[in-house]
Amino acid sequence: MPKEKESKVSFNLKTPKGTKDWSGSDALLRDRIFTTIADVFKRHGGTALDTPVFELREILAGKYGEDSKLIYDLQDQGGEICSLRYDLTVPFARWLAMNPDVRSMKRYHIAKVYRRDQPAVSKGRMREFYQCDFDIAGTFDPMVPDAEILRIVTEVFEELGWNGRYNIKINHRKILDGVFQVCGVPEEKIRPISSAVDKLDKMPWADVRKEMVDEKGLDGAVADKIETYVVKKGGRDLLDILLKDEALMANESAKAGLEDMSLLMDYLEAFGVLDKMSFDMSLARGLDYYTGVIYEVVTEGSAPAVSSSAPEAQVVQKSGKKSKSKGGNLEDDDRSNDPTLGVGSVAAGGRYDNLVGMFLPKAQIPCVGVSFGVDRIFSITKARIEREKSAEALRSSEVDAYVMAFGGKGFTGMLKERMSVCQTLWNAGVKAEFSYKVKPKLPQQFKAAEQAGVPFAIILGEDELAAGKVRVKEMGLEDGHPEKEGVLVDLAALPAEVKARVAKKQGESVSDVTQQLDDLKVDA
């Protein structure tokens, strides 16, 4: 009963600002990235934790400093007052506080988080985005879990095929605090000065110094002293220099931090990953809750595509900061349309020993963890696949076989026969499709299989089927290939035959994203 006078439809057909739909080959590639990361997490004994997408508002309150204004609130509809989660760390700390019998845990969590920030969709900076977190909670001997987290970081990027294309910057909050104390920064200025130092990856020292002196009222001589430390980068060599710095070693905080760092480097060496790290004294990280080791992973795409006035400085843009300082209604980044540039760090984390205690002072549990920014990792990975394998179309489904039929005059379409053959394939676990038309034409069926990138056609002919046989034809073979017309196979042997051919082809093919990711790994 269709209504004649349909009321006029005037929907705003879009997703909310800063959100997007994921479909087709993009969804498949992202899914593959999730699986890769989750496999590494499980390899290290991680257990899954899933928390609600919203929390009681008071749980989130007071955890994110001035970024709290970016939290999405649910409307008060009578009952509890809730907000969408801003990250996965605070819900984990809440869970630990609620489960005081759990004194130690390796947990992973792959889920969406929400921030009412200025989006930059083309760079993967969204209001709704995925985080993949791994955290180790519990009281252990110093630096052992910290080292394993950094080992996990290297495994994830190696598995993703980023060999040699990423850099893990590490530092320690206690070293930084000690440096500031030794240089003469007044106690109440330590956090503001620390946050100025954190900008050294995107602006030159002269600008950072200006912020310290002009905006934050620091003595110029103190700032100059800070410079001698925070521009330093290196590895064990830098650590050795600092360990001989008498002024630093006389400071309790710096000494403790440097000793931690020394132990950490020993352990990273035992894990075979010390060469992937860069000890970077300018790394400070924004969040207040870090108490020990901190780290951040940058890659070729992390730096913004701007001409820097300090080309030697490592320019990495931090999410959310730029838009805040600029303000305005900037819908997207105006500097470059290259989605692989300026995405910022692709993973970051550190030790936070006091967060659980904010929920339950008696249940203090030290934690260390890392969060992977999957949307950014996706943007970079996809761009690389497109660059390196541009001739190959990305597939959106994984179907192996398209069951089709043909016939001469009086052809019935053989729908039930096609269904029955599909049934046999599905029973054997083979991914298979067929046309939903009762009497489809053969070219239509080939076209559908071709468009979906299905590698094998299973062709039913009436006479052949009556003799218990079907034809298996690999799609896209060149003229003159001995199997160009396909091969006849006993119906009973079909599932095994298709499986064997699919397995063989997957060994050769680069036609799906899974394979392409594997290829990138080998290439790298």
CB under 8 Å to 459, separation ≥6 — which residues?
404, 405, 406, 470, 471, 472, 473, 486
Residues 135 and 367 sit within 8 Å (Cβ to Cβ): yes
Q: Which of 184, 186, 361, 476 binds its own copies (CB under 8 A)?
A: 361
Among 234, 359, 510, 514, binds its own copies (CB under 8 A): 359
Contact between 466 and its own copies per CB under 8 A: no
Q: Give binding residues for L-histidine as ranges.
A: 87-89, 115, 131, 135, 285, 289-290
Which residue's entry shows tokens 């901190």? 294
Query: Smallest distance from the beta carbon of 398 to its own copies, in angstroms?
Result: 5
Residue nearer to its own copies on the CB measure, 205 or 289: 289
Residues 6 or more apart from 369 whose CB is under 8 A from it? 89, 92, 133, 134, 135, 136, 149, 349, 350, 352
Candidate ranges 140-148, 231-239, 275-283, 512-520; the one touching its own copies (CB under 8 A): 140-148
Which tokens go with 324? 């805040």
From candidates 405, 433, 458, 517, binder to its own copies by CB under 8 A? 433
For its own copies, what does the binding mask look like between residues 96 and 125, x meaning CB under 8 A? -xxx------xx----x-x-x---------
Q: Does 451 bind its own copies (CB under 8 A)?
A: no
b/e map of 267-285 (b: 16 or more CB within 10 Å)? bbeebebbebbbbbbbbbb
316 binds its own copies (CB under 8 A): no
- How far lies 245's CA from each of 221, 229, 238, 513, in Å? 19, 11, 11, 51
Among 50, 275, 300, 485, binds its own copies (CB under 8 A): 50
477 binds its own copies (CB under 8 A): no
As a whole number of angstroms, the distance between CA 352 and CA 342 comes to 27
Question: Does 360 contact its own copies by CB under 8 A?
Answer: yes
- Closer residue to its own copies in complex, CB, 7/390: 7
How many residues touch its own copies under the rule CB under 8 A: the total is: 97
Indicate the residue among 390 and 436 with the shorter CB distance to its own copies. 436
Binding-site entries:
87-89, 115, 131, 135, 285, 289-290
Give the residue, chosen from 121, 287, 442, 452, that forms a contact with its own copies under the rule CB under 8 A: 452
Residue 424 CB partners (closer than 8 Å, separation 6+): 491, 494, 495
Of residues 258-277, those binding its own copies (CB under 8 A) = 266-267, 270-272
**Closest distance to its own copies from the beta carbon of 98 (Å):** 5
What angle separates helix 252-270 from helix 144-159, to the nearest 10 degrees? 50
Q: Among candidates 163, 147, 161, 169, which has minimal Cα distance to 344? A: 169
Residues 73 to 92 in contact with its own copies, rule: CB under 8 A: 73-77, 79-80, 82, 84
Residue 123 CB, shortest distance to its own copies, in Å, is 18
Binding mask 286-315 for its own copies (x = CB under 8 A): ------------------------------
Count Cβ neighbours within 10 Å for each residue of 303-338 and write b for 16 or more, e otherwise: bbeeeeeeeebbbbbbbebbbeeeeeeeeebeeeee
**Minimum distance from CB of 180 to its own copies (Å)?**
13
Smallest distance, Å, CB 195 to its own copies?
A: 17
Residues 20-39 that bind its own copies (CB under 8 A): 20-24, 27-28, 30-31
Please check whether residue 408 is in contact with residue 441, taking contact to mean a CB–CB distance below 8 angstroms: no
DSSP letters of 189-248?
GHHHHHHHHGGGGTS-HHHHHHIIIIIT---HHHHHHHHHHHT-EESHHHHHHHHT-HHH
x/- contact string, 152-171, with its own copies (CB under 8 A)? ---x----------------
